[in-house]
Amino acid sequence: MTRHTLLALVMVCVLGVSGAVPGVHSASRDAAPTLTRTIVLDGLDEPWDLAFTPDGALLVTEKCRGLSVRRADGTWHHLFGPTGAAVVAPDFFCQGQSGAHGIAVDPDFARTRLVYLYMPSTLASPPTNRVVRLVVDPGYTTVSARTDIVPDIPFKHVANAVGGAGAHSGGRIRFGPEGFLYIPTGDNHQPTLPQDLSRLGGKVLRVDRDGQPAPGNQTPAGGDPRIYTSGHRNVQGLTFRPGTGQPFVAEHGPNHTDEVTPLIAGGNGGWDPQQRPQLRCPDDYCGYAGDATTMPMTDTTRFPDAMRPSWTNEGKSEGIGPCTFLTGAPWGAWEGRLAVGFLAGQRVEVLDLDAAGMTTSHTPMDLPRQRIRALVPDPHGDLYIAVDAGAIWRVAPQAP
């Protein structure tokens, strides 16, 4: 499929990061790397996530097309999803914001050939989001041995007064450095879901490769033991800090306040869009009814021990999306910093964190304005960026 194999060199732009960005700390400005951007793939249909395998393949999800692969030889192949894929999943569908979302490669992939896909499914009624485990053959021609390891993640199957079906599914699945799979979910515009420890929406789950609860989740008593953290709205980014391994999430705000939050096992993110008598809450969902004070993303009045965000854009809602730490010496002073992407905000910010994970400064990457959907480092530390317009970029740094 030649439209998908526009390998490299379609467009190469050398972008010197401006030294005149207002408000940027001088230390980060002076040390900013030079970025070279290459369009690696184009003509995709709403790419959502991507993952590299150890043998040189690039797995890509598209919201309504499911899972595809760019093999090491550059050829493109549609592996799994609707009609047209090598393996058709009749239960797969896309609706509203939802469809094929996160893709993760097993930490022992060279031996197991296992990959994990987050998607909605009609196998349950009403439909659910689920994590599907698949075996990929050595030639990347097909998948087999489908096992639905977490089949019971809530899906918003009907519209309500605050939005359409398919809203707020989370879905950016990643393996942590300790070998367990983290699964962020969303609140489905359902007021009680984020604080309901018997259901999996508005949470970050942590499981083994069979979907069983991982040891050490510290789920509050009586909760579903797969729950690692609760009280989330719609986590769209998930990554792990080099050195400490601590998970960080990026989470969509409502009409205000996107958040980046370091997670603690058993923690509560403090999102609780129910029972706000002072607000007018359509269909009892208060999520859009207030502001940063009356409907906070982290309600420290109701939850004094709530996990504190590392960074917010309080007062604004910019559709924060993916996040990843920058690794490798070519990033220069940006090595070890956290890159976060924005959809409505159409940019990537580089956050400098202190030892506790709190943001001390932030710097925008000098890139074309696009809705940023995925940020994934390749095995060399170059940053791959998927944009909603249908492209995947590679951004290679060069330290000054």
Contacts with 73 (C-beta within 8 Å, 6 or more apart), sequence order: none
Q: In degrees to the nearest 10, what's the CA dihedral of 336, 341, 346, 351?
A: -40
Residue 268 CB, shortest distance to Ca ion, in Å, is 8
Stretches 11-19, 83-91, 95-103, 290-298: which one binds Ca ion (CB under 5 A)? 290-298
Nearest C-alpha neighbor of 278 from the set 270, 262, 288, 289:
289
Nearest C-alpha neighbor of 323 from the set 72, 102, 3:
102
Residue 297 interacting with Ca ion (CB under 5 A)? yes
Stretches 266-274, 337-345, 346-354, 390-398: which one binds Ca ion (CB under 5 A)? 266-274
CB atoms closer than 10 angstroms to residue 367: 21
Whole-number Å distance between alpha carbons of 4 and 269: 39
Nearer to Ca ion, 31 or 292 (CB): 292
Stretches 36-44, 269-277, 361-369, 383-391: which one binds Ca ion (CB under 5 A)? 269-277
Residue 364 CB, shortest distance to Ca ion, in Å, is 23
Report the alpha-carbon angle 277-301-359, nearest 5. 125
SS3 (DSSP) at 362 = strand
Nearest C-alpha neighbor of 246 from the set 232, 260, 235, 259:
260
Nearer to Ca ion, 127 or 269 (CB): 269
Residue 354 CB, shortest distance to Ca ion, in Å, is 19
Look-up of token digits 């290459």: 38
Residue 263 interacting with Ca ion (CB under 5 A)? no
Stretches 11-19, 41-49, 115-123, 291-299: which one binds Ca ion (CB under 5 A)? 291-299
Stretches 77-85, 201-209, 292-300, 391-399: which one binds Ca ion (CB under 5 A)? 292-300
Residue 259 CB, shortest distance to Ca ion, in Å, is 5
Nearer to Ca ion, 81 or 269 (CB): 269
Nearest C-alpha neighbor of 127 from the set 149, 94, 102:
94
Number of residues that bind Ca ion (CB under 5 A): 4
> Which position among 28, 219, 298, 370 is part of the footprint of Ca ion (CB under 5 A)?
298
Residue 250 interacting with Ca ion (CB under 5 A)? no
Chain CA centroid to CA 97, Å: 13
Residue 400 CB, shortest distance to Ca ion, in Å, is 36
Residue 234 CB, shortest distance to Ca ion, in Å, is 11
> Which position among 202, 269, 328, 377 is part of the footprint of Ca ion (CB under 5 A)?
269
Q: Which helix (H) or strand (E) holds 217?
A: none
Residue 315 CB, shortest distance to Ca ion, in Å, is 16
* Contact status, residue 242 vs residue 176, Cβ threshold 8 Å: no
Nearer to Ca ion, 321 or 377 (CB): 321
Cα-trace Rg, the chain: 20
Q: Which residues here bind Ca ion, judged by CB under 5 A? A: 269-270, 297-298
